[in-house]
Structure 1
Amino acid sequence: MGRGIVKVISRRWPEPEREFRRWHGEPTFRLGAVRLVPVAPELWLANMVGQHGIATRRGLRTASSYEADAGPPVRYEAIRECLTTLVTHARAQHASVHMPRIGCGLAGGTWAEIEPLIRETLCAHDVPTVIYDLNA
């Protein structure tokens, strides 16, 4: 938290980051879990757990130690589970989904792996989805 897109969102709406930090210690906090946080009328932010640890300049930091050979923090199956859950919420609210290229920054994932997950979940269920390229 506090870097990348989260930093930008937290400046505008601090509640999603506060909620994520509260949720972190609960039993329901696990890879693949989603929590929706209302930030405005008819606008929710989805806190999704799609990575284990964070990437740093020194290597990978997990909850227990630095593990340079453990690979990137991204967990593609967890992201698939998050997106599948998001389909249910979006369809129930007749909502669209707007997001950056999730999992491709500090999580260390690749868009070539993430984009098909979005197509197989949100797009396959006709959830209007907009991806923002923040590097453009």
Structure 2
Amino acid sequence: MKKITYLEGDATTPKTKGNKIIVHICNDVGGWGKGFVLAISNKWKAPEKSYREWYKNRLQNDFSLGAIQIVKVDEDVFIGNMIAQQGLKSKNNIAPIRYEAVKECLRKIAVQANNLEASIHMPRIGCGLAGGKWEEIEFIISEILLNEKLDVFVYDFK
């Protein structure tokens, strides 16, 4: 079975050849302005613009927990906006991450990655503002992406 490759560096600068999908967790309330999304927005404008339009038109589309949006930002680079965070902050000691939504998002990402023949790149998704535990996320990644025999790279920014 494949393993996650851990790298030191910036997830917005993938270090492989071929098509790449950079995935990250988004919230379900239209907020974009803290965490990893800032690194994305500093490099490309399209992912934020697409997310905000997706949210704005949510009554006419699939914007909800478990939904994904793929945004092409370069010849071989795509951003995977994944709705897997409910709200912005913990409530009653419950973190905003929704693990079932992470699973649903990653299943959809796997389909897209296979269609694009792409590797998958990410920071330690869901463990910052979303308040998730990496052990849980890592298990989900293994269960879904690695079982699909996809190459997965996780970046620790120094």
Per the normalisation by structure 2, the TM-score is 0.75
Amino acid at match of 1:38: K
Q: By how many angstroms is 1:74 displaced?
A: 0.2
Q: Which runs of 5+ in 2 are unaligned?
A: 1-31
Taking the aligned partners of 2:135 and 2:156, their CA distance within structure 1 comes to: 14
Residue 9 of structure 1 is matched in structure 2 by: 40
| Mapping of residues 1-136 of structure 1, within 5 Å | 1-25=32-56, 26=58, 27-55=61-89, 60=90, 68-69=91-92, 71-134=94-157, 136=158
Q: By how many angstroms is 1:70 displaced?
A: 5.7
Runs of 4+ in 1 over 6 A off after TM superposition: none
Q: By how many angstroms is 1:14 displaced?
A: 1.1
SS at match of 1:121: helix
> Per residue, is there more strand in 1 or in 2?
2
Amino acid at match of 1:84: R
Q: Which runs of 5+ in 1 are unaligned?
A: 61-67
SS at match of 1:11: helix
Amino acid at match of 1:46: G
Taking the aligned partners of 1:34 and 1:113, their CA distance within structure 2 comes to: 20
Q: How many aligned residue pairs are there? A: 124
List per-residue Cα deviations over 1:56-104 (Å, max 9, x = no partner): xxxx3xxxxxxx3161100000000000000000011110000001000
SS at match of 2:118: coil
Taking only aligned residues, the RMSD between alpha carbons, in angstroms, comes to: 1.1
SS at match of 1:35: strand
